[in-house]
Amino acid sequence: MLLEPNDESTVAGELDAAALDRVLREARTHSAWLDRPVTDEHLRRIYDLMKWGPTSANCSPARIVFLKSREAKERLAPALAPGNVEPTQRAPVTAIVAHDSRFYDELPRLFPYVDARAWFVDSPALAETTAFRNGTLQGAYLILAARALGLDAGPMSGFDNAAVDREFFPDGRWKSNFLVNLGYGDRSRLRPRGPRLTFDEAARIL
């Protein structure tokens, strides 16, 4: 619910405390999961929310492979860091957040105002940086979209990207970025939360 100016909040249009808690303030990275399924409908709702997040020239390079079956999970396991194997086996779904290295071929449709494809087609370094930056932004939108829909997330970068790419993307066009376990986390198995940097350590106002 958005707070109105006459509510207790000082800012109109702000999410209330429970919503801020769920999406960021009290949300945690989970590696232990309740025995409660995640449906294909959940995955479609996550995508239909995350897709609206902003990307540069609407380039939308992220591609998501949701691993739900035992067989698909088993194809992933050899690429994982040892500590990530069991949490991934037990998670109802593991998302591979990848990006399309030829994302710019969709720009005439996604951003029809200028010839944005021409910015990238002969500039592989710019294309790679753009795909990685914007695909990562979309991975963050995926994490927060899952939380906003009542699920929990367990993002991981401890795995062998090249091995995942060989197994899942043998034609070389999509490239793996990071992984996100999805499900309903078991809060009783969380360890204490790590500290964060203070504003004055991480930010400046000029």
Question: Which residues, 128 to 157, sit near a second copy by CB under 8 A?
Answer: 130, 132-133, 136-137, 139-141, 143-145, 148-150, 153, 155-157
Q: Which CB, 29 or 89, lies closer to a second copy?
A: 29
Binder of a second copy out of 49, 85, 121, 163 (CB under 8 A): 49
In whole angstroms, give the CA distance from residue 181 to residue 30: 8
Binder of a second copy out of 14, 128, 160, 167 (CB under 8 A): 14
Residue 27 sits in the site that holds a second copy (CB under 8 A): yes
Q: Please name every residue paired with 93 in a beta bridge, in sequence order, or none if there are none.
A: 182
Binder of a second copy out of 7, 20, 124, 162 (CB under 8 A): 20
Instruction: Collapse the DSSP code of 4 into the 3-class scheme (helix H, G, I; strand E, B; otherwise coil) and give the result.
Output: coil
8 A C-beta contact, residue 93 and residue 181: yes
Q: Which CB, 122 or 198, lies closer to a second copy?
A: 198
The residue count for binding a second copy (CB under 8 A) is 79
8 A C-beta contact, residue 60 and residue 134: yes
Burial class of residue 110, CB neighbours in 10 A (0-12, 13-18, 19+): middle
Q: Which CB, 106 or 186, lies closer to a second copy?
A: 106
CB of 87 to a second copy, least distance (A): 14
Write phi, then psi, for 7 (nearest 5 degrees): -80, -175
Binding to a second copy in span 55-94, by CB under 8 A: 56, 58, 60, 62-69, 71-72
**If you ran DSSP here, which 8-state letter would residue 90 be given?**
H
Q: Which CB, 20 or 118, lies closer to a second copy?
A: 20
Q: Which CB, 90 or 155, lies closer to a second copy?
A: 155
CB of 42 to a second copy, least distance (A): 8
Binder of a second copy out of 31, 33, 43, 181 (CB under 8 A): 43
In one-letter notation, the amino acid at residue 56 is S
Instruction: Collapse the DSSP code of 9 into the 3-class scheme (helix H, G, I; strand E, B; otherwise coil) and give the result.
Output: coil
Task: Of 149, 138, 162, give the one whose Cα is nearest residue 55.
Answer: 138
**Can you say how many angstroms the Cα of residue 96 is from the centroid of all Cα atoms in its chain?**
9
CB of 122 to a second copy, least distance (A): 18
